[in-house]
Chain A
Amino acid sequence: MPLIQFKNITKTYGTGENPFPALKGLNLTIDEGEFLALMGPSGSGKSTTMNIAACLDTVTSGTYLFQNVAVDKLNTHQRTLLRRNFLGFIFQGFNLLPRSSALENVELPLIYRGDNKQQRRSAAHQALEKVGLSDWKDHNPNELSGGQQQRVAIARAIVTSPKILLADEPTGNLDSQTSLEIMSLLTSLNRDSGVTIIMVTHEKEMAGYASRVVQFLDGQIRN
């Protein structure tokens, strides 16, 4: 069963005199359990696609179905709930709260979901354990290496047990050794926990971990 279906999606930034079409009729179907890599030159619309998939942004035209639900018909509140319950997101720049410990960062999505303190603590500990950072839970991001920060971000993304993990250039800021560690973490999440992963990357080596690679070019998928 397809988890995500993009049907003829366009996204145009800006209005009036110089509208910029970032996506020009994108068609893509992603099945549950896939590990998909999105590649392509800079500016070809990969991040735009990720943001739409993450319900952070809306399409200009076309249809986005998530588990056969038309996301475009949902309001902001419903899209937040969908994101909160089914989607995890990791960014190139980690995007952790700087003055909160690793544990607090991982707990944050659960706070908004309304879990009680006990549930939050144990779920956050488990997630940190999965990414191998149990010993670093009380450290703030500025006391952690880039790789460790990205692992905190992964823990934060998976703590809600999402169906799908969206990773926009997760290794873009990391050295190759650390990148490989992150990739093996993502692979094991995909293989052992059955999390569907969509990852944007520029590096062939990283894309090699994926079960399918999709090439973007100029707002469309290159056949």
Chain B
Amino acid sequence: MTLTIDEAAQARTLTETAVRLTGVTKRFGKQTGTPVLDGIDLAVAPGEFVCLLGASGCGKSTLLNLIAGLDPVSSGSIEVSGGRAALMFQESALFPWLTAAGNIELALRLRGVDKARRRTEAERLLRLVRLEGAAKKRAHELSGGMRQRVALARALAQQAAVLLMDEPFAALDAITRDVLHGELTALWQETGVTVLFVTHNVREAVRLGQRVVMLSSRPGRVAREWRVDIPQPRRIEDADVAELAREITDELHREITRHGRVGVDKGASGHAS
């Protein structure tokens, strides 16, 4: 299933975007009034690393689930190159009845990789996330960081050109997160996979992304975006990372404050009437 470089280059010329969202709107069930997501337009280039930033509850996970095809859009359209995207969840969501290698092999199996190749391919992917020693371990025997690395290897095993990551490092301690940032950056550069990375940690977004896209809340819309021209390898403590993070944070605060004011106004008018 692995594309050769030629095929990949060809695929790239055929579709210049890895992910294209056009007017994506999402309402849950019979929800009326403001939708969760409203008219999202977003194009992600092949091999690009885009961070999606937004306040809690603004619909980031919803958006990734839509792109992954796990939920239907209410209106608008989503195109994903290759037709599918691998999704990595916040909790590692490794299957607890399988070993680390077993989880990866299942992903390969469901992609139609034959049995003989599954073993070696799983070993290779575990080596890629530096967990060759943990093949026989089960999720509960691994630390949080190791679990997320196995989950990353499993997502890579899906061999999709697009990797969606939903706050994958949110539950980790700062040191482990730093290390995984380095590892993810290296992996992205090695594999050329397109990454759409959701977070509400502004510094993390600036540390990782080539582009940071901020969503507004209720309804979720693309509020603003920034190009990050700081060269990799970056560090989260770098001055230019901090500087841009500060600018984005200010903007995010403005965006969130705006809601507070709307809420207060509504509350006040509610009392008056």
Specify whether A and B are partners: no
